[in-house]
């Protein structure tokens, strides 16, 4: 009986040794793979940064030409998009952005002054920034509200999946807006 136990223990020890070897080999393979991935990512990152910088330079050159000839290219502002054989360029406005100081205090103000359409409720009350942005002029006397929109130049080549864009200017949509602290 003692010899049976010793044989079983020896068999288990042999399997434990085999398992340890397999686990260590797997761990080494994973480490090697991770090192390869890290090296490839580093190589690609450098190339990506170079390509992004080049794209930025080309996009800026397109914008400079557009800016210098905007009236001619947009028929004195009648058109905002210029369709060309290899793509289109133009000017567009991003969605307005609403920033509010003292949100809870302003929610109470809006409730009292009949501005309930500018409030939405989930578990608690939130400002309905889409409604506020759509009626920005009503917030001209709200110093704690800043409603802005960006004018953006874009270039979309038809041979590319992405487009180049550049913020041109920020437009304030309400008059007495405070300056947002970044």
Give yes or no: residues 58 and 139 share one domain: no
Residues 116 and 163 in one domain: yes
Long-range contacts of 3-9 (CB under 8 A, 24+ apart): none
CA-CA distances (angstroms) from residue 55 to 18, 43, 48, 69, 160?
54, 19, 10, 21, 12
| Whether 57 and 81 share a structural domain | no
Q: Which domain holds residue 57?
A: 1-68
Gap between the Cα atoms of 98 and 106, Å rounded: 13
Could you tell me the two tokens for 97?
A: 């952005």
C-alpha dihedral (72, 75, 78, 79), degrees to nearest 10? -80
Q: Which residues pair with 83 in a beta bridge?
A: 88
What contacts 158, CB < 8 A, 6 or more positions away? 86, 87
Per DSSP, the three-state class of 166 is: strand
pLDDT value for 65: 94
- Which of left, alpha, beta for 178 (phi over 0: left; psi -120 to 50: alpha)? beta
The whole-number pLDDT of residue 176 equals 62
pLDDT of 139-176, one tens digit each? 888 878 888 889 898 898 888 888 898 888 888 887 76
H-only helix segments in the chain: 2-68, 70-73, 103-112, 129-134
Give CA torsion, residues 171, 179, 97, 169, to 10 deg: 30
1: tokens are 């009986």
- Same domain for 115 and 148? yes
Lowest mean pLDDT among 61-70, 71-80, 118-127: 118-127
> Whole-angstrom Cα distance, residue 64 to residue 116?
45
Q: What is the mean pLDDT of residues 74-95?
A: 87
Q: Would you place residue 181 in the very low, low, confident or very high pLDDT band (cuts 50, 70, 90)?
A: low
Q: Is 182 part of any domain?
A: no
The answer to whether position 180 is within a domain reads: no
CA–CA dist 175, 115 (Å, integer):
19
Place 59 in a pLDDT band, splitting at 50, 70 and 90: very high
Tell whether 102 and 23 lie within a shared domain: no
Residue 178 within any structural domain of the chain: no
Same-domain status, 60 and 42 = yes
User: 12, 34, 68 — which closes off a domain?
Assistant: 68
The reported pTM is 0.55
Total number of domains in the chain = 2
The answer on 62 and 4 residing in a single domain is yes
């Amino acid at each position: 009986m003692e010899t049976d136990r010793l044989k079983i223990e020896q068999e288990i020890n042999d399997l434990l040794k085999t398992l340890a070897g397999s686990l260590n080999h797997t761990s080494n393979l994973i480490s090697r793979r991770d090192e390869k991935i890290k090296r490839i990512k580093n190589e690609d990152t450098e190339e990506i940064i170079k390509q992004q910088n080049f794209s930025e330079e080309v996009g800026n050159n397109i914008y400079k030409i557009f800016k210098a000839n905007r009236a001619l290219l947009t028929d004195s502002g009648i058109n905002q998009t210029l369709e060309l054989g290899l793509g289109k360029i133009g000017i567009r406005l991003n969605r307005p952005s609403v920033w509010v100081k003292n949100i809870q205090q302003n929610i109470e103000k809006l409730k009292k002054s009949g501005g309930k359409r500018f409030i939405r409720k989930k578990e608690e009350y939130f400002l309905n920034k889409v409604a506020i942005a759509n009626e920005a002029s009503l917030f001209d006397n709200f110093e704690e509200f800043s409603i802005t929109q960006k004018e953006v130049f874009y270039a979309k080549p038809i041979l590319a999946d992405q487009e180049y864009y550049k913020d041109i200017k920020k437009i304030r949509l309400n008059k007495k807006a405070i300056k947002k602290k970044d």
